């Protein structure tokens, strides 16, 4: 019985040195990887856009467009920004290493390249990239309106649901670049706290963004909120026929808060929170907190 072929990693190597290209190509092919070659930055960008490599090895000093500018261009392209970039160059000064990391490189190797060390580092970054891709794929299937944003307001990634919500609001690529990006950048400069929310300006359809977390890579995770259709508690109130207060309590239960925490958020005692829950359970046809949270989450995720 014929076994399925194992997927080989696709590597783009950009270097204007034939000797370096030959050495790296032989090492990568011997390790079971497929290799694409570029001699300068613009050619590397074109190949990356067409072939979507798994990882990119980039010389810093190349004609026409150097490695630093090439990496910056890669990271500004939503379709390419998640590809890990490893710099390999003869530039050994600390300022060049820092610059390589600042423009988006995940690692920096100085020439002459040791093939074994290069392969070891590549495996680490390929594995990290796969873990990140798996996490993003999981988010893509949860129905959440999520997106990651760089400190300068650039949207790096968004779930299909977030794209759909932006389309519902008739958002254009021009508006994202000329209006959304400056609004987000200005807000982030003011260091908002987790769960702070920003109402977006310049739209006929009311949208806002809520800051969910600070990512380890420096990006921010946002949730896009459809204000036109109501906030979470309003959705629960309308769809489950609950009182305003009961809907607010249920919303925070669905977010994993204890009665004490909900009381602090809504300025009521934990006992009052419990009384609202005693009304919520029969209204939803459930018997406990976990089941009630499940009902609420199905509505919130769908919306």
**Whose structure tokens read 């932006």?**
166
Would you say residue 113 has pLDDT above 90? no
Per-residue pLDDT tens digits for 138-167: 554 445 788 899 999 999 888 888 888 898
Q: Whole-angstrom Cα distance, residue 114 to residue 179? A: 46
Measured distance CA(262)–CA(268) in Å, rounded: 8
When comparing pLDDT for 36 and 94, which is higher? 36
Statement: residue 6 has pLDDT above 60: no
CA distance 57 to 243: 58
User: Does residue 135 have a pLDDT over 70?
Assistant: no
Closest CA to 79 of 52, 106, 42, 47: 52
Most confident listed range (19-23, 111-115, 183-187) = 183-187
Convert the pLDDT of each residue in 208-244 to its tens digit: 899 988 887 788 999 888 776 666 788 888 889 899 8
Instruction: Please report, for residues 39, 44, 287, the alpha-carbon distance to residue 36 in angstroms, rounded to integers and kept in the order given.
Output: 10, 9, 60
Dist CA 220 CA 210 (whole Å): 10
The stretch 73-92 carries a mean pLDDT of 86
Asked if the peptide bond before residue 52 counts as cis, ω within 30 degrees of 0, the response is: no
The pLDDT value given to residue 4:
42
Residue 49's nearest CA partner among 81, 15, 85 is 81
- Tell me which long-range contacts 2-8 makes (C-beta under 8 A, separation of at least 24): 8/32, 8/33, 8/34
Mean pLDDT for the chain?
A: 86
What's the whole-model pTM score? 0.49
Pairing verdict, β 55-58 and 10-14: parallel
């Amino acid at each position: 019985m014929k076994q399925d072929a194992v997927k080989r990693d696709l590597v783009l190597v950009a270097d204007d040195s034939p000797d370096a290209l030959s050495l790296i190509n032989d090492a990568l092919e011997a390790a079971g990887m497929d290799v694409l070659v570029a001699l300068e930055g613009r050619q590397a960008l074109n190949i990356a856009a067409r072939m979507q490599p798994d990882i990119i090895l980039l010389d810093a000093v190349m004609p026409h467009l150097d490695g630093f500018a090439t990496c910056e261009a890669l990271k500004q392209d939503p379709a390419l920004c998640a590809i890990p970039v490893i710099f390999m160059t003869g530039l050994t000064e600390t300022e060049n290493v820092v610059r390589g990391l600042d423009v988006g490189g995940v690692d920096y190797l100085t020439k002459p390249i040791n093939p074994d060390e290069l392969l070891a580092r590549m495996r680490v970054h390929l594995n990290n990239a796969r873990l990140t891709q798996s996490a993003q794929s999981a988010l893509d299937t949860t129905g959440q309106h999520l997106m990651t944003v760089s400190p300068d307001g650039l949207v790096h990634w968004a779930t299909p649901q977030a794209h759909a919500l932006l389309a519902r609001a008739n958002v254009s690529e021009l508006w994202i670049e000329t209006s959304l990006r400056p609004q987000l950048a200005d807000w982030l400069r003011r260091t908002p706290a987790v769960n702070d929310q920003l109402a977006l300006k310049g739209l006929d359809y009311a949208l806002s963004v809520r800051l969910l977390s600070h990512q380890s890579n420096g990006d921010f995770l946002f949730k896009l909120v459809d204000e036109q259709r109501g906030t979470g508690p309003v959705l629960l109130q309308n769809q489950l026929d609950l009182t305003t207060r009961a809907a607010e309590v249920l919303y925070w239960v669905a977010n994993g808060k204890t009665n004490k925490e909900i009381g602090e958020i809504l300025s009521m005692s934990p006992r009052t929170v419990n009384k609202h829950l005693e009304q919520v359970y029969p209204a939803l046809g459930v018997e406990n907190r976990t089941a009630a949270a499940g009902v609420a989450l199905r509505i919130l995720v769908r919306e």
